[in-house]
Amino acid sequence: MTIELYHTAHSTCSQKVRMCLAEKGMPHPDKDWTANEIDLGNFDHLTPEYLKINPNGVVPAFVHDGVVLIESSAIVEYLDEVFVEPKLTPEDPVERAKMRAWMRYIEEVPTVAVRVPSFANLFAPMRYTDYSDEKFSKHAGRLPLRKRFYQRMTKRGFGADDISYAKEQIRQTCERIDQAILSEGGPWIMGQQFTLADVLVAPLIDRMSDMGYERLWKEDLIAMTAWFDALKKRPSFQATFYPGSRISERYSEHFKTSRELEKIRGY
């Protein structure tokens, strides 16, 4: 058996897969699986070699015994089917459908929302400020999946309205987690069982926390805050977020908290 993961340390989608691997008893890169680090800042994900592996030009890409899988949600479901214990999917068909509804929501709402402050607060100012309009347009045109995202962002990042809407979506996500824990009895989203729903949303909440947005949940969403605190104590979480895997660490010289940036930009 050989497992390879093409990933980036601070990529939230890469973190989803690393956390699932750790839950399955494979927490150690280059021991339990082969780690292929993709440098997004150097645009390794857009090279012809990587595009042959993942034509979407994003991370992660997962290779198991020579078979390539892409998209983090599909990869974690595959891992849970192939590596049986511990089970991260409910046995009951109704509960399994509910979990998959959560997975769809997580991919469509908070996964997309987290990209907005990530790019506005760090990646766009760090990478694209010195680009000419023509150079930025050409760069956006190279992207297999996210041309419109970059075109909407522009080289200057996102504005106040986009940031505000992204925060609303993250707040909604936190409220739904809080309500699910209260209604299902917790401590996890689906109740007593830790599932793929927890795995997929964990890196997104951690990213928002890392950027200084904990105020979106910490002041009043007690159950959700307790969920996140319990999550951080899991060995799989600690294995996933090794030193250098958060943007505040990886780009410390460029990093500012959300409070600092909102004050600078006046929103």
Domain boundaries, the chain: 3-82, 93-265
> At the topology level of CATH, where does 93-265 sit?
Glutathione S-transferase Yfyf (Class Pi); Chain A, domain 2 (1.20.1050)
Per the structure block, which two tokens stand in for 5? 């993961």
Percent of the chain, pLDDT > 90?
Answer: 85
Q: How far apart are CA 148 and CA 3, in angstroms?
A: 33
pLDDT at 29: 94
Label residue 267 by pLDDT band (50, 70, 90).
low
pLDDT digits (tens, 9 = 90+) for 66-81: 999 999 999 999 999 9
- Fold match, 3-82 / 93-265: no
CB atoms under 10 Å from CB of 4, counted, come to 17
> At the topology level of CATH, where does 3-82 sit?
Glutaredoxin (3.40.30)
Give me the residue label for tokens 């209604």.
183
